[in-house]
Amino acid sequence: MGVVASLIQSELIDLACEETDQTLFFAHQAAKLQNLGYVADSFGQALAEREAEFPTGLALEHVTVAIPHTYVEHVKRPFIAFYRLVEPVIPFIQMGTDDLLVYPRYIMILGIKEAKAQVDLLAELMALLGQEDLVAKLEAAQSPEAIVDLLSH
């Protein structure tokens, strides 16, 4: 089983996310994650601060995503929270740039408990999201369980 399969949970999947503002998105999702026991109350602010310093927007060949995450001390239990935006209107800065905006269709908030696991997790996500057929299936998926199944194999 891959790292993604061990972290993706159907309770953390929203296939009709209507958020339009990054600040509000981070605040709302951090509150939900805290209520479910995944993160500390410091997570939302830490997530926003890290995103400002190290942007996570990615325009890949077949899909545009953002993979925001923050430091391990803000995470209680490891997770991946998956959001498919109804309209990809939340601007993220492209990873590795200072000002190039991308508008992700998918946002995956990562909760990592071990810093060394971050590299493996990001590599696995990039490999998955680089598969055109998988991206098409993510787009067509109608349930959180379908997303879990797709990202777990």
The Cα–Cα gap between 149 and 38 comes to 21
Q: What is the pLDDT of residue 117?
A: 84
Please list, in sequence order, all residues whose beta carbon lies within 8 angstroms of the beta carbon of residue 87, skipping any fewer than 6 positions away. Answer: 18, 20
Q: Mean pLDDT over residues 95-110, rounded?
A: 96
The pairing of beta strand 106-111 with beta strand 64-66: parallel
* E-only strand ranges, the chain: 8-17, 57-59, 64-66, 79-85, 92-93, 101-102, 106-111
Q: Which CATH architecture has domain 3-151?
A: 3-Layer(aba) Sandwich (3.40)
Query: 153 falls in which pLDDT band (50, 70, 90)?
Result: confident
The ranges assigned to domains in the chain are: 3-151
The answer, yes or no, to whether residue 1 has pLDDT greater than 70, is no
**Which three-class secondary structure state does DSSP give residue 6?**
helix
* Chain segment 41-84, per-residue pLDDT in tens: 999 999 999 999 999 999 999 999 999 999 999 999 999 999 99
Query: 2 falls in which pLDDT band (50, 70, 90)?
Result: confident
pTM of the full structure: 0.95
The Cα–Cα gap between 47 and 43 comes to 6
